[in-house]
Structure 1
């Protein structure tokens, strides 16, 4: 594999691939030769390239991991697909739905593996919840709700490329973490969001930049700063209508003190409810009306057979974010080894079609808010 864009999440891509034990990390490409050399030394990778095209052209690289800022996803992915390379891209796939659609079509034409890192699908109890719902344990779903809240952008002195529409796109919180929540809601419920009504806010309209982009969850420096006007949302709430009649809602925010990576998904059915919290990811809450509620712990002897393959340790041994990420990467490389055909794709894996759908959802939410808070149908009909 070769990694393009070695920032915060790039290290986790490399870690997951090395845990596989049979995939070589060949090269890293950065924004300059100097930065690439530094990261290659840090990650103990032999080859470093100062441009993404140079890495793509390396004949020893078979799989491209794209962890660049959002605005580079389209050119990097399209160049990799043109070279016939498999691609594992960070989310969001594209900064607009049209680019996402073109990437889906290019991946189909290239007949290669195409994966988007909606990594929360890799949690064993997420798969347990999905299989319980598919098996009828909850009855028909009536309400799907939750939130994804963080605080790393609470300080106005934190200025990231995510706040720059030319690099992060016109959406910030929705595209960055709302995309995760919506993908998880659709994946677990088995339902598609049909229409949305969004109320969005920019809590911090002026940020102060040192000229360098802060990585997510990093501490800022004390360099002299300039004021930058910000228009992208950092807080929002969305009402949802699902196909089939279920209702839903969720909130996102990255300026909420005390919330580090607080992703919650709850699904209420006619006979029982399920709730999963990312910060307590080894537990699945099961709610009942006519008997006591219970909490199911992550345990390979308790989960269904379809989820057991994603549990690596016995009950009582906690597994975390990196383990769920590894599960997704393991499935991705399993798919590649099996020929990367649509028929052999593991159910867990999110493809470019899922990334395109995410872009359609975000665009519908932005349109809903811009129209003054009215219901907006979700466009885009590609399937995975």
Structure 2
């Protein structure tokens, strides 16, 4: 078994999951944490028993005693922190979105390919068993030719403080401010639902039209240093490669839904319904001979290997690096096209 030494770059909320996930894998050691905030960095390393800490990426690179990095920095920092790692030949797992522009994402994908390192993007809902089983069923032809779909990602943290109070906590406030690197709900969770839909359909999007909405949430649209101008809700129409059309929606105002994904996809031989609610996934199908009676049946879904294990397997040559930076760049192009479409139509502002 090849030993793998991991550095966690960025020590915010998601980094906790990364540190625990890698620590559970035999032969993997989390050897260092990196963050520009010394107090948070120290607490993170102490909590996870990480022996080394650095307050800059340059310091960590100068030290150099690691094989791979999991990049859990804010969205706008993915590009400038990943590129030096690729130049040094380090394997990289990067949080989504890969970058904040298609041009930067393309450069990251090209640099990773040129470096010959394992490169993966953490599209975390690839870990949902129902998604993977649905994708297998579509690819094996069980619903025939795909013709229509509808997908949604529903969150409610702007209306109910289940995860904390966004008005007072920077970990949420930055997601509402373009000045702090946010692309709004489109960049934050839109990438997940776009991957969710197009991965299951096994097709890329040829065309996309989009509307974005940013709602009044605080007096003068500001909380302290945070200008709350990032989009809160998005709706899209997609045209896929074979002419399939579908709708995609994402919002932070879905009261009653903490973090729920839904997808309904229909072919000429049947339909599938994927749900992910309260951290549990379910797949239902209506296939022959049930089409005449429109009876839907639950489908068993085998467990999925977590992204952290798949990243290590790829480094060890024991599995494919999927989803890779190329997939992340492809999705970023779709996000950029959606944003351009919304700007051309005019962003809706509700007071």
TM-score between the two structures when normalised by the length of structure 2: 0.87
Q: CA 1:82 to 1:276, structure 2 compared with 1: closer, same or farther past 3 Å?
A: same
The answer to whether the 8 A contact 1:200-1:369 is kept is yes
Are 1:353 and 2:351 counterparts?
Answer: no
Are 1:40 and 2:45 counterparts?
Answer: yes
Residue 33 (structure 1) shift? 2.8
Are 1:293 and 2:299 counterparts?
Answer: no
Spell out the pairing of 1:120-131 with structure 2 (5 A cutoff): 120-131=125-136
Question: What is the distance in 1 between the residues matched to 2:225 and 2:216?
Answer: 12
Cα deviations across residues 298-323 of structure 1 (Å, max 9, x unaligned)? 3x4xxxxxxxxxx2xxxxxxxxxxxx
Are 1:85 and 2:90 counterparts?
Answer: yes
Instruction: Identify the structure with the greater strand proportion.
Output: 2
Choose which of 299, 306, 317 in structure 2 pairs with 1:338: 317
Q: 2:188 maps to what in 1?
A: 176
The answer to whether the 8 A contact 2:274-2:282 is kept is yes
Are 1:202 and 2:200 counterparts?
Answer: no
Q: 1:164 maps to what in 2?
A: 177
Spell out the pairing of 1:194-273 with structure 2 (5 A cutoff): 194-204=206-216, 206=218, 226=224, 228-273=226-271
Q: 240-249 vs 17-26, which deviates more?
A: 17-26
The answer to whether the 8 A contact 1:205-1:229 is kept is no
The answer to whether the 8 A contact 1:209-1:227 is kept is no
Cα deviations across residues 318-370 of structure 1 (Å, max 9, x unaligned)? xxxxxx6x62221111111118xxxx625xx2111111112111111111111
Spell out the pairing of 1:103-118 with structure 2 (5 A cutoff): 103-118=108-123
List, as ranges, runs of 4+ consecutive aligned residues in structure 1 with deviation greater than 6 Å. Answer: 207-210
Count of residue pairs brought into register by the alignment:
329
Residue 282 (structure 1) shift? 3.9
SS in 2 for 1:202: strand
The answer to whether the 8 A contact 1:33-1:51 is kept is no
Q: CA 1:207 to 1:234, structure 2 compared with 1: closer, same or farther past 3 Å?
A: farther
SS in 2 for 1:371: helix
Q: CA 1:282 to 1:363, structure 2 compared with 1: closer, same or farther past 3 Å?
A: closer
TM-score between the two structures when normalised by the length of structure 1: 0.80
SS in 1 for 2:13: coil
Cα deviations across residues 117-162 of structure 1 (Å, max 9, x unaligned)? 0011122222111111111000000112110010113377255222
Residue 207 (structure 1) shift? 6.8
Question: What is the distance in 1 between the residues matched to 2:23 and 2:240?
Answer: 39
Please, which runs of 5 or more residues in structure 2 have no aligned partner?
1-5, 160-164
Spell out the pairing of 1:21-100 with structure 2 (5 A cutoff): 21-100=26-105
Question: What is the distance in 1 between the residues matched to 2:126 and 2:272?
Answer: 15
Give RMSD over aligned pairs: 2.3
